[in-house]
Amino acid sequence: MLVVCVCLLWQVLDAPALQDDFYLNLVDWSSLNVLAVGLGNCVYLWNACSSKVTKLCDLGNDDCVCSVGWAQRGTLLAVGTNSGQVQIWDASQCKMIRTMEGHRLRVGALAWSSSLLSSGGKDKNIYQRDIRAQDDFVSKLSGHKSEVCGLKWSYDNRELASGGNDNRLLVWNQHSTQPVLKYCEHTAAVKAIAWSPHVHGLLASGGGTADRCIRFWNTTTNSHLSCMDTGSQVCNLAWSKNVNELVSTHGYSQNQIIVWRYPTMSKLATLTGHTYRVLYLAISPDGQTIVTGAGDETLRFWNVFPSLKSQVNHSLKDIEQCSSYLLD
């Protein structure tokens, strides 16, 4: 039987000036295996194959990076700025293609659905932009009462979930300018949002410090499925494509990373190492590695999920051994 150590910390990169701001989304990993990181007023690219680092852009002293988001395929990267701009860069040429206006305040959340780009801002609005169209946006979604900090499209590109500092989780469809679903159960900001890649209409959301819960929703029937109190601020959630497991990253007070089996929500691993809130999370294109970032100015890479091919049974025992090995 093949035994693989599934949660090895394999690399730590220094990320000086990585901000400790819950509302920002400063790390994303592309389908072509390039990590984009917003550090202060610059965006850096780290090629995971060659380990080569490139500076993509410098916004100058008057602006800074609040979000980065790769298009689902290819080399286009959206950059949300503190001044409210959305810039589209072609990373293969290190060239800015266009800028898009709309937001009056910083843009902390971005989500792509093929040529459609959604951006969420501190001005409470979400703009839907079609990068093939000439206009800066095709629609404006108003529903949040405070800063939008989480945005995720479902895997079938039909539903957009948004989370805000108003503690609300809203779901929109491709054509709506009003939310089709509204969930008000969280009692703190909703930044952490993940759709299941395995089950249509299954949505997970996590709440901030006053809430600490991960909740699951059936968006097909508009029902609340379950709730798990994690004991700390939930900063991010991501569902594995390869197995039915999720990873959550946390802030106050334990700064941990937890791997959960769904739907039992049994803990497969608790990973520690960051000394600040684990505010940023992205998954590698093969679905095996996660990268986490924090205000401790490090990016940590963890092998948490098995590959799709290996069909390794993710046994609890293997992971516990790896975790203790990590902590030794």
Ligand X SMILES: *[C@@H]1O[C@H](CO)[C@@H](O)[C@H](O)[C@H]1NC(C)=O
Which chain residues interact with ligand X by CB under 6 A? 199, 201-202, 218, 220-221, 225, 313
- Pairwise CA distance, residues 327 & 12, whole Å: 15
Contact assessment for residue 275 and residue 252, using Cβ atoms and an 8 Å cutoff? no
For ligand X, the closer CB: 4 or 97:
4
- Least distance to ligand X, CB of residue 235, Å: 24
Contact assessment for residue 22 and residue 235, using Cβ atoms and an 8 Å cutoff? yes
Written as six digits, the tokens of 193 are 């949002």
Q: Which residues are paired to 159 by β-bridges?
A: 173
Q: How many other CB atoms sit within 10 Å of the CB of residue 73?
A: 11
Contact assessment for residue 212 and residue 231, using Cβ atoms and an 8 Å cutoff? yes
| Torsion angle of C-alpha atoms 230, 235, 239, 243, degrees rounded to 10 | -50
- Least distance to ligand X, CB of residue 202, Å: 4
For ligand X, the closer CB: 12 or 225:
225
- Least distance to ligand X, CB of residue 212, Å: 23
- Least distance to ligand X, CB of residue 85, Å: 37
For ligand X, the closer CB: 197 or 201:
201
For ligand X, the closer CB: 17 or 225:
225
- Least distance to ligand X, CB of residue 224, Å: 11
Contacts of 315 (CB under 8 A, 6+ apart): none
How are beta strands 266-271 and 257-261 bridged, if at all?
antiparallel
For ligand X, the closer CB: 70 or 239:
239
- Least distance to ligand X, CB of residue 226, Å: 10
Written as six digits, the tokens of 154 are 């479902």
Contacts of 20 (CB under 8 A, 6+ apart): 276, 277, 279, 294, 295
For ligand X, the closer CB: 3 or 133:
3
